[in-house]
Amino acid sequence: MTDGAYYTKQYPDLFSEIGISHELIKKKIDETFNTMFFDPEDKLYFEMGKDMGYIMDTGNNDARTEGMSYGMMMAVQMDRKDIFDRLWLFSKTYMQHTKGKYQGYFAWSVATDGTKNYDGPAPDGEEYFAMALFFASSRWGDGIPPFDYSAQAREILRHCLHQAEIVKGGKAMWDNSNYYIKFVPEAAYSDPSYHLPHFYELFALKADEQDRPFWKKAAEESRKYLHMSCNKDTGMAPEYAKFDGTPKLLFRDYEFYSDAYRVAMNIGLDAAWFNKDNSLGETVDKLQAFFSENTKLGEYKAYTITGKPFDEPAMHPVAIIATNAAGSLAAKGKYRHQWVKDFWELPLRKGERRYYDNCLYFFSLLMLAGKYRIYI
């Protein structure tokens, strides 16, 4: 038996631990959500017609499976079925392939009118879609297609594992030999920030029965992979990594960069929900110590995972603060409360690059308030 919230139904509230009242916490969550979804200047959410909507990547002026599935998770956590259904209908209508080698998968980027920019999928979108749909099923109940949420979630996961059997030329999103999620279905490498063992624990309860042992094993192996890929001194993970955990350079020479910031947040939520690997908290301790002892708050660069800075500012400094703070759910070190305090005082990002930072900001806010809940 572990002491994660899945077992105890008690969610850690680190904001209360540092003396913030429940009233102020609720106010901040509500104001943040309302800004991101409804503020005329700063929102990410846009409605289309009478029954659809999308989350815009404001830095690239497109809608991505990352943002769409994030928006659905935010909506189910905030009990906004209306928003959830709009986002899901847009995703089903414009992003999900109905034929070809990507049948059942979602094009990772579309224009805001729904035109596909790329056909290929990004597996982090599929895993968030599936988890958000399972939560919606439990919270609101299944409706008629495509709002039969649990059936839709199971279908997504079926494709993720069995695409090669379902369609000619298809490739699965998880590697059958090591249980790792791939960066893209065709890749023989991964992205550490895609590894969500806390989701896989729940997929092992809700996916097709024959696939449940796979998901249980995937949770175990993903925790091991996070140990393999995070640097032993700095706690930094690379954006992309080979199956042995070593960094893989794809688009740039930087290793600890945008995708990689999510790893600390994921470790934090896994600890809050399941708490099956206390030693992952030591990774967050090292990460927090590196930034606390070697940088000024918000003045971050691109880095190697050994902590060597490049002459390149971090594109998403707000995201670093937010996710390092969310990692405090797993951390035990001397900086864990300071990161929570710094994050509490941090405003949402404004401007064209606000999308990624503010998505991770809102998730981290929910996590640290004990309001990122399991609905199964």
The 3-class secondary structure across 30-65, one letter per residue, is: HHHHHHHHHCCCCCCEEEECCCEEEECECCCCEEEH
For the residues of 153-178, what is the DSSP string, one character each? HHHHHHHHHHHHHHSTT---SB-TTT
Q: Name the residues annotated as catalytic.
A: 66, 259
Which tokens go with 23? 């009233």
By CB neighbour count within 10 A (0-12 exposed, 13-18 middle, 19+ buried), where does 291 fall?
Answer: buried
Tokens of 279: 């030693």
Rounded to whole angstroms, how far apart are CA atoms 235 and 45? 34
Query: Looking up tokens 């990624």, which residue turns up?
Result: 356
**What is the helix (H) or strand (E) element at residue 311, kind and residue range?**
strand 309-313
In three-state secondary structure terms, 283 is helix
CA-wise closest residue to 367 among 81, 127, 74, 80: 74
Q: Strands 301-303, 109-110: parallel, antiparallel or unpaired by DSSP?
A: unpaired
β-pair partners for 241: 190, 247
CA distances from 318 to 2, 304, 307 (A): 32, 19, 18
How distant is the alpha carbon of residue 130 from its chain centre? 12
